[in-house]
Chains A and B, each alone.
Chain A
Amino acid sequence: MTWSEMQPLLEQGTVDTLYMVLWATVVTIAGGLPLGILLVLTDKGGLLQNRPVNKVVGAIVNVGRSLPFIILLIALIPFTTFVVGTFIGPTAMIVPLAIGAIPFFARLVETAIREVDHGLVEAVQAMGGGIPTIVRKVLLPQALPSLISAVTTTVIVLIGYSAMAGAVGGEGLGSKAVTYGYQRFDTTFMLVTVVVLVLIVTVVQLIGDGVVRLLARRGRTA
């Protein structure tokens, strides 16, 4: 393949990948953040200590994390069809991507929030703050740098997943690499796709680290 032949394929692939990853990230945060908070609050000694809820949510998260993504992708086909109307294409891929990443992200959120000094929670309780206040004004702002790192890691995992989704009817760079690089034995195209993926991952990591550093410079993590 010549460069001029590769270019439109790469462009389309990149746009599809970014589209899938972006929306999957949004859904993952929307689902994983409350789940992670719930895991901390319902844990033993937590503000909403509740053994049954904690065990059930913990178990679901663990199952979600241990399923290989490719299996999840196939197992979710009926569900994806039910939600989106089809299981093929970038929009349909958002469903399995988000469901695959939510348990992963929830655990990262849990860890980030657990790191918040319990003394701060007590201080706000002593001021008369309730649980919503504690979550909004203490846990989330104090854990923000760790949460940003968690989002960065999750986006990178999603980029990897999205390449896999290419094998099961998704679009994006992964799908292009499989169709043109692997099945047509075009090693050059394969390499170029990999380079583009590496570039995207690097940029995401740089942005994430930059934001964390910015927060640290404001004296947040001091």
Chain B
Amino acid sequence: MPVPDGPRVAHSTVTETPVITTSGLTKVYESRGRQVTALDGVDLHVREGEVFGVIGQSGAGKSSLIRCVNLLERPTSGTVTVDGVDLTALAGKGRRAGKDLRRARSSIGMVFQHFNLLSSRTVKDNIELPLEILGVSGTERSRRALELLDLVGLADKAKSYPGQLSGGQKQRVGIARALAGNPKVLLSDEATSALDPETTRSILQLLRDLNRQLGLTVLLITHEMDVVKTICDSAALMQHGRVVESGTVGELLATPGSQLAAELFPVSGAPTGPDRTVVDVTFHGEAATQPVISQLSRTYNIDISILGAAMDTVGGKQIGRMRIELPGRYEDNVVPVGFLREQGLQVELVEDEDTVQDIAHVLVKEGAK
């Protein structure tokens, strides 16, 4: 497995080339004469080399979405393009997947919530399965499987059966298997939802490493905001079969009132007394490298309290949000707020604590199915 030398810069693998594009994707299920719309005109653009997270509650349609990307589920209408190939055109009319669609699928890796490993095969044979389907010779299969096991850190488990592995190890095997055919794209269907928090972190780390090392594009769906926080370059929020917000983490932060930004960078804190101004300052882009808060304090000789902050440093830039409190009413603070805006920061007045809390609770998580 080639690993690029030299220092790796964050986001270095992301290019502007779209590798997964869905347009007008609609899925309607028919059950006992009733129609249920799972996907309602979904347009998704996943760029090459990024980790893209789709988050939503159970029943929001995210599972249907990811299964439509490799056409395990036939969309009712709309198109799916993966790596320049229009999969919906390959699908044909019948229920059965034709030869062309099957070949296209073999270049899309997929990992599952419940791992879906064959208990009748050893770990190594599980990884060889996609290669058997591709018609790779026995010695080559064996070589590749061992290489992949090494990559996911399970070199000593080749001869074990899945039943003898822990959940995290099983998912590592699932990931190795998904990578066997050298896919450009990896689909992750709630891959960490059946795992404990610590194992979840290690699996996410592995996905992140693979994304960076191999330039692998990852489309994942999850109901856990932590997953998006940990590894996603971009995210989309799904509700009732629609994508209601979508963009890079930076773009989401720059969107006033973004639910995803509020969840990714949660800030809270109430004014410490009357006649105080509470504002949320959003850091993103070039301006975020300056020590603006201390500059503000010195320039206007005011005391600033930081009530809460959710900041991250990505690629040497600070991104995130901070809730600060300035003395005096808002009218008295027009100039300092103007200063912050001049620095390229986004400033929003926090008027009512309750509304902020409401937004934060919109995404209350549900357990995995």
CA distance A123 to B105 in the complex (A): 11
Q: How many residues of B contact A (CB 8 A)?
A: 34
- The 0/1 profile, CB within 8 Å of A marked 1, for residues 105-138 of chain B is 1101010101011111100000001101110000
Which of these binds chain B: A9-17, A21-29, A128-136?
Answer: A128-136
Question: A138 CB to closest chain B CB, in angstroms?
Answer: 7
When C-beta atoms are compared, the residue in chain B nearest to A219 turns out to be B161
CA distance A131 to B98 in the complex (A): 11
A124 partner, pick from B95, B96, B129, B163, beta carbons under 8 A:
B129
Contact: B161 with A48, CB < 8 Å? no
CA distance A131 to B72 in the complex (A): 14
B161 partner, pick from A47, A131, A220, beta carbons under 8 A:
A220
Given contacts A126-B72, A127-B129, A137-B132, contact A120 B96 (CB under 8 A): no
Considering residues B95, B103, B105, B120, which has the most beta carbons from chain A within 10 angstroms of its beta carbon?
A: B120
Chain A residues in 8 Å Cβ range of B119 = 142, 219-222
A142 partner, pick from B96, B120, B132, beta carbons under 8 A:
B120
Question: B189 CB to closest chain A CB, in angstroms?
Answer: 9
Question: B67 CB to closest chain A CB, in angstroms?
Answer: 8
Question: A203 CB to closest chain B CB, in angstroms?
Answer: 27
Given contacts A119-B114, A220-B161, contact A128 B120 (CB under 8 A): no
Give A126-181 interface residues, CB cut-off 8 Å to B. 126-131, 133, 137-138, 141-142, 144
- Judge whether A49 is part of the interface by a CB distance below 8 angstroms: yes
A126 partner, pick from B96, B105, B120, beta carbons under 8 A:
B105
- Judge whether B229 is part of the interface by a CB distance below 8 angstroms: no
CA distance A48 to B108 in the complex (A): 24
Contact: B121 with A128, CB < 8 Å? no
Contact: B120 with A222, CB < 8 Å? no
Chain A residues in 8 Å Cβ range of B132 = 137
- Judge whether A186 is part of the interface by a CB distance below 8 angstroms: no
Question: B70 CB to closest chain A CB, in angstroms?
Answer: 6
CA distance A130 to B135 in the complex (A): 13
When C-beta atoms are compared, the residue in chain B nearest to A48 turns out to be B96
CA distance A48 to B96 in the complex (A): 7
Given contacts A122-B72, A219-B160, A222-B164, contact A127 B120 (CB under 8 A): no
When C-beta atoms are compared, the residue in chain A nearest to B113 turns out to be A119
Contact: A141 with B121, CB < 8 Å? yes
Considering residues A119, A127, A137, A219, which has the most beta carbons from chain B within 10 angstroms of its beta carbon?
A: A127
Chain A residues in 8 Å Cβ range of B130 = 127-128
A123 partner, pick from B95, B103, B104, B112, beta carbons under 8 A:
B112
- Judge whether B45 is part of the interface by a CB distance below 8 angstroms: no
Contact: B161 with A127, CB < 8 Å? no
Question: A43 CB to closest chain B CB, in angstroms?
Answer: 13
Question: B100 CB to closest chain A CB, in angstroms?
Answer: 10
- Judge whether A51 is part of the interface by a CB distance below 8 angstroms: no
CA distance A127 to B187 in the complex (A): 12
B102 partner, pick from A47, A130, A219, beta carbons under 8 A:
A130
CA distance A119 to B174 in the complex (A): 12
Chain B residues in 8 Å Cβ range of A219 = 119, 160-164
- The 0/1 profile, CB within 8 Å of A marked 1, for residues 150-178 of chain B is 00000000001111100000000000010
Question: B160 CB to closest chain A CB, in angstroms?
Answer: 7
Given contacts A218-B161, A222-B119, contact A126 B97 (CB under 8 A): no
CA distance A127 to B129 in the complex (A): 9
Contact: B102 with A128, CB < 8 Å? yes
Residues of A within 8 A of B (CB): 47-49, 117, 119-120, 122-131, 133, 137-138, 141-142, 144, 218-222
Between A and B, 19 residue pairs with Cβ closer than 8 Å are A123-B116, A126-B110, A126-B187, A127-B106, A127-B133, A128-B105, A128-B133, A129-B102, A130-B97, A131-B96, A141-B121, A142-B118, A218-B161, A219-B119, A219-B161, A221-B119, A222-B161, A222-B162, A222-B163
Identify 11 new A-B residue pairs, CB closer than 8 A, beyond the known A124-B133, A130-B96, A144-B120.
A49-B95, A123-B110, A128-B103, A131-B96, A141-B120, A219-B160, A219-B162, A221-B163, A222-B119, A222-B162, A222-B163
A-B complex: 5 closest residue pairs judged by Cβ atoms: A222-B163, A219-B161, A128-B106, A123-B116, A128-B102
